[in-house]
Each structure stands twice: as structure tokens, then as C-alpha cells.
Chains A and B, each alone.
Chain A
Amino acid sequence: MNPNWAEENLQTIRTLMERSAVYRRALAPIMLFAGTVGVLAAAIGLILHWDSSRAFGALWLGTAVIAVAGAFFITRRQALKDNEPFWSPPTRRVTLALLPPLTAGMVLGVILALLPMGGVVDFTLLLPFLWALFYGCALHAAGFFMPRGVKWFGWIYVGSACGILCFLTAIQPQIEISAHWLMGFFFGVLHLAYGAYLYLTEKGKIAA
């Protein structure tokens, strides 16, 4: 018997599990890309003082489009590299799980930030929390078909959005903070942190 049969079996199992889940190896570059785009958008918003609800909505919805397009490109490149079908059953399941909360967040963003509301209420500061909550729910739903960490990542969004909202409304209401800082934290820093964590842990697994 080949002395390496156990190692080969483990490698085959790993490959099959990765194929069954969704491009595990593409997750780290996607997170790092989304995080970088998020931090850049926050910097642009802060430096150029795009604080009106329309400018804020346009900047961040545009950023979301760029992040999704980038994720699509990275996933497709990984699929081609691994000689696997892009639109595989797991990809379809993840997309279907992500779709309802992401659509709800986008529609709400368009309504609250871009459509004329008569200037009665400025929702700009509320949008980062709503988007983070919807995004957290989307990640949690997709996490059923992805590595377990994605579910926890979803919970981090939900928890931090609720926590910061509570802090700013109930505990320290006098603190004034730009919505771009919040967006930069939620969609820049958190993505970068998770991407770095995935990159380091996956690198370790490959080395092993």
C-alpha cells in the first residue's frame, strides 16, 4: 500500500469539502478587497465632506457596487483557476441566502438617502447601522453554506451595530460622529480584520 495513502485521502477530502462549500480560498482576498474599498470610500467622504444624505448615499451605494463587482471578479478568477464551475450549486445557495437582506438594505438606502423626503429628517447617521444590521443578517444566512466563521462574522456586525447605536443614543448622545467614520469601521476595518484573519489562518493550513 502507498505509505502516503492517508495524506492523499485527507487531501481529497479537503478538495471535495472546498468544492462543496464556496470558494473558501477566495474569501480572504474578497474580504481584503472589500475592506480596502470601504476604507478608501470613508476617507473620500471625510476629506471631501460629502455629508449630505444624497452625497452619502451615492458614495456608499457606489462603493457597494464596486465591492460586489470585485467579489464577483475574484470568485470567478478563483473558479477558473481551480477548474471549477462558477455558478455551482453552493454558489447559487449562497447568492440566494444573501439576496433578501442585501436587497432590503439597498432599497432602504435608496429611499432614505437618495429620494427626496422633503428634508424633514436626515437619516444619514442611521443608515450605517441599518446597513450593518442587514449585512450581518445576510452573512449569517450565507454562513449556513460557507465556513463557520462567516456566521460569527455576521454576528459581529449585528452585535457591533446594536452596541454602537445603543452607546451613541442612550449612553453618550452628546458625541457627534460622522457617518463616514461608522461606515469606514463597519465596511472597511471589519472586512480588513476578517480578511487578515482568514489570510493568516488559511496560509497556516496550506503550509501544514
Chain B
Amino acid sequence: MNPEHFLQLDRVIHEKGRLAIMSMLAASPELSFTELRDALAMTDGNLTTHIRALQQEGYLAVAKSYQHNRPLTTCSLTAAGRKAFAEYINLLEQIVRQNRSK
């Protein structure tokens, strides 16, 4: 495997939990905290930590509102997040192609 490709992989996205969050949000305009938590079977604390890390990197936007008098937290990918995710996928595909050609 070409180590250059591996080193280019975004460290923030490459973590298993954060990659799952990014994948879910890449296919949907927005998802609530509860939807993400239930779909990925994560604990509240774990999900919060990953969301914060992605938010700090500018990949994820968090909006807080109220629905039926209950607080609702929704997450969505930012433009930078979509770009970083697309680049991550491209790199993975390059690695797969490289492995297959060997």
C-alpha cells in the first residue's frame, strides 16, 4: 500500500464513531441527536464527544430548537464537512484500486 495515501487520510474523520456520524449525515440533510444515537447505538456521552470534535473541526453544524416544548438538537454537515468527507471517500477508493491492481 502506498503510505502517502494513508497519511493523507483525515485523522478526524478516520475514527470509527466519527466516520459513522459523517456517513449518516452525508446521506441526509440533517438528523437529530436522538436519531443518530439510536441508529448508531452510541451512548449520549460518546456521541456528544464525537459531535464536539467534528464541530471543532468545522465539519458539523449543531442547531438547538424546541419541538412540542422539548429541546431538539439537530446535526448537519457543513460545506467543509461535505468536502472533507468526499475527499476521504476518494482516498479510500484510490487505496482500494491500488490494492486490486497488485
Contacts and interface: CB of A to CB of B under 8 A. Distances in A.
Interface of A: 3-4, 6-7, 9-10, 12-13, 16-21, 88-90, 93, 144-145
19 contacts: A3-B1, A6-B96, A6-B99, A7-B99, A9-B19, A10-B89, A10-B93, A12-B23, A16-B27, A17-B23, A17-B24, A17-B26, A19-B24, A19-B39, A20-B26, A20-B28, A21-B27, A144-B29, A145-B28
B31 A20 contact: yes
Interface of B: 1, 19-20, 23-29, 31-32, 35, 39, 89, 92-93, 95-96, 99
Contacts of B35: 89
The winner among B26, B39, B99 for most chain A CB atoms within 10 A is B39
A89 B25 CA distance: 13
Contacts of B93: 10
Nearest to A6: B95
B34 to A, nearest CB: 9
Q: By DSSP majority rule, is chain B's interface helix, strand, loop, or mixed?
A: helix
Nearest to A1: B1
Nearest to B93: A10
Contacts of A12: 19-20, 23
A152 to B, nearest CB: 17
A18 B32 CA distance: 17
B27 A17 contact: yes
Contacts of B89: 10, 13
A93 B35 CA distance: 12
A20 B95 CA distance: 25
A116 B82 CA distance: 54
Contact of B20 (A3, A6, A16, A90): A16
Nearest to A10: B92
Contacts of A93: 28
A21 B93 CA distance: 21
A146 to B, nearest CB: 9
A16 B32 CA distance: 16
A9 B92 contact: yes
A20 B27 CA distance: 6
Contacts of B32: 89
A13 B85 CA distance: 11
A90 B23 CA distance: 14
